Structure 1
């Protein structure tokens, strides 16, 4: 099942608006009948009072129709044909508004689903919307990635509600199943980020993605234990991040070199100061050493591989290289891109 983000009114507000519309409709009919009360006959033969007008409006709009108050004059009957009868239909529509709203929502969801299936391409699939999955989505949005091109695959109902509340399209089900990944249009995806809660599930997801896409979609996965990283790479993952090892190394650095932790947090936290970014090398930068460029270049990516800048022979920028550099995130300088 595919869930789309939606903006819903609260139930109390929706009910209040319907009650107000019904009350206004009753008052309109009461006013019209009261103005022409001489054209109506009451079985009591004592005339039609304001209370009788309310009574007639309510029983007429609710289609009860006891018949004790009836229109007699031509004008009263014309009013019943042109006003009371359409008002009766409108009143019934208000009463069954909940059912109509459900049907309308189902039609709207089906229309959005068909439109989404026709247009989804080059998107990123997030398998798992826990702490790692939410952080991955935040990082994508911080780099300017379109929220409409992010699809979350999750089977936890609470996580699904969080994802849809965040404005993300969500596919309900396990990412280890090919049918669920096909619902997310994995063959047309740009990348699949595996952020499941267990390493064995990550391996199964990676194998399933590789089988469905023949290795044409980039797979990025996170594992808890370092010993499972080689297995995940063998299953098809292009990049594997060991969360426990990374956290342990940061804990060690916080003891031996506390300022390094501040630098890492600054680089990873948006809007705080320094930030990592990547862009293509410009024409006038080709042939120059990376360390002579502005801003500070810390790595080169050449044909998908990272080139070390510590080579004694020296490294120069070539056409097609990607520059990884440090930018001033507070000033919004520089641009970032993803390969």
Structure 2
């Protein structure tokens, strides 16, 4: 089936399994046990079709032994089927079951033992060596977009860690190749496990302002160096988030309102503002520290882009202000540059 010229055959539904791992394991073992009971039952009923080369008699212990050996290996030849009916049963029923046993047992060992052990070892090694990484607390709409943007800008996914209590959200994040950690980011042990004290930045999008501010407080208590950015929905909570220790507070609701208002004054204003915010646009807004060669020069002589704002000691100045007439060491500038 085609829809508007696009092939949709590659799209498949995906749903989290309803059974827990222990339940899946129990079902596999139950299936194997049921097949063993079936084979034992047939061999016991048809025990006269078997011959024991050791003592010539076939009892229940011999039947149980022969079933287990024939279901897991090709047998040792000490007990053999001697009638056509028994041989056909072993050839057409027991042999496929033997192959099924091997596949199920190997798959179970890999899924529940080897894979889990290997993944745990790899994750512990990655966790132990985390440094200068970026932590995303919450993988909702905002942070999922932030993750996509970071990857688009060329950030190494191995330097990203996503924290979320929802395993489905972590599954989506892990598909991008980033490390994930299931837990509550407002708790000390969760942020310690993510080594927030060695992180370069923490991006918080918790969905609720109280949860986001609590994460800010916890992170700032554990690290006074990490750069914290947080999304806050209520304007009254922005100052609280800054007092809690956030370096950057973003209100997506207010920003969306500004874009809507701008669209009334021209159809391209909102598009240009959105273009500035993403690396996929034609232009982008870049923040950088000035170089040694730029010290003492006026801001309007910047040649790397179009300067729009000067940042000095945390205070913003317009590009045509008196402060912008002579750049000082430690100044930062915002400039508009080509994305390419």
TM-score (norm. length: structure 2)? 0.68
- How far apart are the structure 1 equivalents of 2:72 and 2:179? 46
Q: Which deviations, in whole Å up to 9, do the C-alpha atoms of 1:63-111 show, x marking residues without a partner?
A: 48563379xxxxxxxxxxxxxxxxxx99976552113213211221122
The match for 2:316 is 306
Aligned CA distance change for structure 1 residues 187 and 60 (closer, same or farther; 3 Å): closer
- How far apart are the structure 2 equivalents of 1:91 and 1:313? 78
- How far apart are the structure 2 equivalents of 1:300 and 1:65? 88
- Residue among 156, 173, 188 paired with 2:166: 156
Q: Which deviations, in whole Å up to 9, do the C-alpha atoms of 1:179-234 show, x marking residues without a partner?
A: 21122111111121111111111111111112222x33221111111111111112
- How far apart are the structure 2 equivalents of 1:61 and 1:177? 52
The match for 2:184 is 174
Aligned CA distance change for structure 1 residues 91 and 314 (closer, same or farther; 3 Å): closer
After TM superposition, the structure 1 stretch with the greater mean CA deviation from structure 2, 303-312 or 151-160, is 303-312
- How far apart are the structure 1 equivalents of 2:253 and 2:71? 71
- Report deviation, 1:298: 1.6
The answer to whether residue 137 in structure 2 is matched with residue 127 in structure 1 is: yes
The alignment partner of 2:327 has SS state of coil
- How far apart are the structure 2 equivalents of 1:314 and 1:61? 83
The match for 1:250 is 259
The answer to whether residue 249 in structure 2 is matched with residue 240 in structure 1 is: yes
- How far apart are the structure 2 equivalents of 1:306 and 1:313? 10
The match for 2:26 is none
Aligned CA distance change for structure 1 residues 99 and 323 (closer, same or farther; 3 Å): same
Count of aligned pairs between the two proteins: 258
- How far apart are the structure 1 equivalents of 2:118 and 2:314? 43
The alignment partner of 1:261 has SS state of helix
- How far apart are the structure 2 equivalents of 1:314 and 1:212? 37
- How far apart are the structure 1 equivalents of 2:119 and 2:256? 42
Q: Which deviations, in whole Å up to 9, do the C-alpha atoms of 1:294-320 show, x marking residues without a partner?
A: 221222334454343231464322334
Instruction: State the structure with bigger RCO (CA 8 A, min sep 6), 1 or 2.
Output: 1
TM-score (norm. length: structure 1)? 0.68
Taking the TM superposition and a 5 Å limit, the aligned residue runs for 1:135-284 are 135-213=145-223, 215-284=224-293
- Report deviation, 1:59: 6.8
- How far apart are the structure 1 equivalents of 2:121 and 2:271? 48
- How far apart are the structure 2 equivalents of 1:63 and 1:201? 63
The answer to whether residue 125 in structure 2 is matched with residue 104 in structure 1 is: no
- Whether the 8 Å contact between 2:153 and 2:279 is mirrored in structure 1 is no
The match for 1:113 is 123
- Report deviation, 1:168: 1.6
What are structure 1's unaligned runs of at least 5 residues?
1-42, 44-56, 71-88, 333-339
What are structure 2's unaligned runs of at least 5 residues?
1-52, 54-68, 83-97
RMSD: 3.0
- How far apart are the structure 2 equivalents of 1:142 and 1:290? 30
Aligned CA distance change for structure 1 residues 94 and 310 (closer, same or farther; 3 Å): same
